[in-house]
Amino acid sequence: MAKSFFCTPSQSLSFKFREASFDLLSDFLVNLNDRNKDNLNSLAKCSGVFKDKRLMEYIFLITQDLGLDPLAGYHAIEFLQRFMVKHLTDLLTTPTPEGAAADQPGSHEDAVLNKLKDKFPLIVFSCVQLASKLSLHSHIIDNNTAVRFLHSVGHAVSKQTLLESELMVLKGLEFRLNAPNPLTYVEILLEVLGHNEPSIPVERLHQLCHHVLQLVSLQRAAIYDSLLVTTTRCVSPSTEHREKFVTVTEDCMLLGVGVIAVATFILYVRNWEPVVRELSHITGISRRSIGDFTHVTLTHIVGTSSSVTSTGV
């Protein structure tokens, strides 16, 4: 697979702005906010574990090679996180098979993980295939395409095996597929921003937001570690700080406004402060928090401290 995984212009232009009514936008925003809060209130201890850089890059590359909308990649990542946490919990809490040596602690866990390791590439692909079926404006990965693609990357599977894997993931997700993902938040927030401030060229921001969101996703660990240090003002945050910070790393609304703020700073630095004020007004997220996110992300983009300061917002 090609190592260039940024979305193509045709994909990034698939979202139509300035066509939704105020009432519809308001309903969308309230719904996303409620779902974000519900998610943050019910986070599992393993939240974010399967958002590893290499794994996310692999999913982005699959979606690009198959010509899927970028939204499918973010859906697939959310599916994989939810499914694997539940699947592993179920497998590891199953009683040790009869006859297993009682004096070999960890043998059951090792056996489970070794067995799962062989199935994992197919599980990842099943999440992508399911995600492709949610996008109304891009093609669906049928089983013939799926088998050919998997063969091309060294995984020989039958259509039956593919169907069984997809059904297993579906059951693990309890058939709940309409979960919001970061790109949804970015696009809805951009639409609301464009409605409230018609002079803001949200169409151009949208293209750059795709790139910024992918960068933040792939540099997730480094960026959020820096943000933790910034917010706690502690070079070596405690375990307690890190545990509490999970609600920040999983906050899709913060990620959405942060991505838009970064893109605005890059394209229209003179308009950055007004845009941040409006984003804060729309979401209730403080300008300080948006400024911190922007500063940390820009620092990782350019490799040095940017001119944005958290105290100036």
**Cβ count within 10 A of residue 100:** 11
Q: Return d(Cα 83, Cα 71) in angstroms, integer.
A: 18
Listed in sequence order, the DSSP H helices in 133-270 are 143-152, 159-172, 182-196, 202-218, 220-232, 239-249, 252-267
Q: Nearest-CA neighbor of 219 among 295, 308, 297, 304?
A: 297
DSSP 303: S
Q: 56: domain CATH number?
A: 1.10.472.10
Task: Say what the pLDDT of residue 30 is.
Answer: 92
Q: Return d(Cα 103, Cα 203) in angstroms, integer.
A: 63
Task: Say what the pLDDT of residue 136 is.
Answer: 61
Q: Nearest-CA neighbor of 224 among 195, 254, 203?
A: 254
Which of residues 172, 201, 232 is at a domain's end?
A: 172
Q: What is the pLDDT along the chain (313 residues), one digit of tens a residue?
A: 434 334 443 344 456 777 778 888 889 899 999 999 988 888 777 777 888 899 999 999 999 998 888 889 999 999 999 999 888 888 777 666 555 544 455 576 777 777 788 889 999 999 999 998 886 655 788 888 888 888 888 888 888 999 999 999 999 998 888 877 899 999 999 999 999 888 888 989 999 999 999 999 999 999 999 999 998 887 887 888 888 888 899 999 999 999 999 999 999 999 999 999 999 999 999 999 999 999 999 999 987 444 444 444 4
Q: Return d(Cα 192, Cα 185) in angstroms, integer.
A: 11
> 189 and 308 share a domain?
yes
Residue 4 lies in a domain: no
Residue 140 lies in a domain: yes
Residues 6 or more apart whose CB falls under 8 angstroms from that of 291 comprise 261, 276, 308, 309, 310, 312, 313
Residue 31 lies in a domain: no
Handedness of CA 65, 69, 74, 80 (dihedral sign): negative
Containing domain of residue 104, as a range? 52-172
> 82 and 194 share a domain?
no
Task: Say what the pLDDT of residue 227 is.
Answer: 94
Task: Say what the pLDDT of residue 137 is.
Answer: 54
For 104, 165, 172, 257, 260, the CA distances from 206, given in Å and listed in that order, are: 54, 35, 33, 12, 8
Task: Say what the pLDDT of residue 106 is.
Answer: 57
Q: Nearest-CA neighbor of 59 among 42, 41, 78?
A: 78
Residue 201 lies in a domain: yes
Number of domains in the chain: 2
For 100, 180, 225, the CA distances from 39, given in Å and listed in that order, are: 38, 10, 21
Q: How many residues does the chain have?
A: 313
Q: Return d(Cα 182, Cα 179) in angstroms, integer.
A: 10
> 142 and 233 share a domain?
no
